[in-house]
Chain A
Amino acid sequence: MAEEPKGCARVTGSVAGEAPEEAAANQPVEKKERTMSVRVGQKAPDFTAPAYYKGEFTPVRLSDYLGKWVMLCFYPGDFTFV
């Protein structure tokens, strides 16, 4: 097999072969549109998440930072190169 390129993207698994369309078609499909999109000038969506902080596992909640400036930074993955 050809070697995967070693980029910054996270390699992920995916199902192979034919999709089981029949079974899927019989399922009541619940459309969960949870993709809100954020805009400048609007409230930042609050969240809570498990986190690592100075040697401890401490959950973090954005709304705990009200009254402070926050830089929220997403990135593709730990141990990637950039």
Chain B
Amino acid sequence: MGVEVISVSVDSHFVHKMWNDHELSRMVDGGVPFHMASDQAGHIGRAYGVWDEVQGIEMRGRFIIDPDGVIQAMEVMTPPVGRKLAETIRQVQAFQHVRATKGAEATPAGWEPGQPALKPGPALVGKIWEVWNPKMEK
């Protein structure tokens, strides 16, 4: 799929190392395979609108950035609920599909790779039911 991951929190890179060595490497073989960045002053978090001024932390923010450096998707959550990776992967695959068609195709709700995508145009108006219905969502 070819996606580079960068994680960011207010912890120092030294703490990132400890977290990787003592906990995450026991959950993931070989340890964390991506850059764990440190934003102790919150400058990056502020720029991305995920900075919590009161607690001095960053909320769970996830940004899908395309090869041109443009944000295609974002999701921001408060701390107590974790994310679902499968949905992020689905979104990346859908954006990659759209980009591969140079924007000629769009993906319907719940679309997954291998399923029919939509070719917006006069012929499709009022006819989406012919190519897609919600029951096709896996």
Please give the residue numbers on chain A whose beta carbons come within 8 Å of chain B beta carbons, in ascending order.
7-10, 12, 34-47, 49-54, 57-58, 60, 62-63, 65-80, 82
State in angstroms the CA–CA spacing of A50 and B13 once bound together. Answer: 6
Query: Interface residues of B, CB < 8 Å — how many?
Result: 67
Say whether A76 contacts B79, CB under 8 Å: yes
When C-beta atoms are compared, the residue in chain B nearest to A7 turns out to be B80
Determine how close the nearest CB of chain B comes to the CB of A49; give it in whole angstroms: 4
Q: Which of B1-49 contact A (CB under 8 A)?
A: 1-20, 23, 31-39, 43-49
Majority-rule SS of A interface residues: loop
Please give the residue numbers on chain B whose beta carbons come within 8 Å of chain A beta carbons, in ascending order.
1-20, 23, 31-39, 43-51, 55-74, 79-82, 88, 92, 95-96
State in angstroms the CA–CA spacing of A43 and B55 once bound together. Answer: 28
Partner of B64, one of A12, A39, A71, A82: A71
Partner of B16, one of A44, A52, A71: A52
Say whether B57 contacts A62, CB under 8 Å: no
State in angstroms the CA–CA spacing of A70 and B62 once bound together. Answer: 10
Say whether A71 contacts B3, CB under 8 Å: yes
Partner of A40, one of B13, B71, B88: B71
Partner of B56, one of A8, A12, A36: A12
Say whether B46 contacts A53, CB under 8 Å: no
Known A36-B47, A52-B35; contact A70-B16, beta-carbon cutoff 8 A: no
Say whether B37 contacts A49, CB under 8 Å: yes
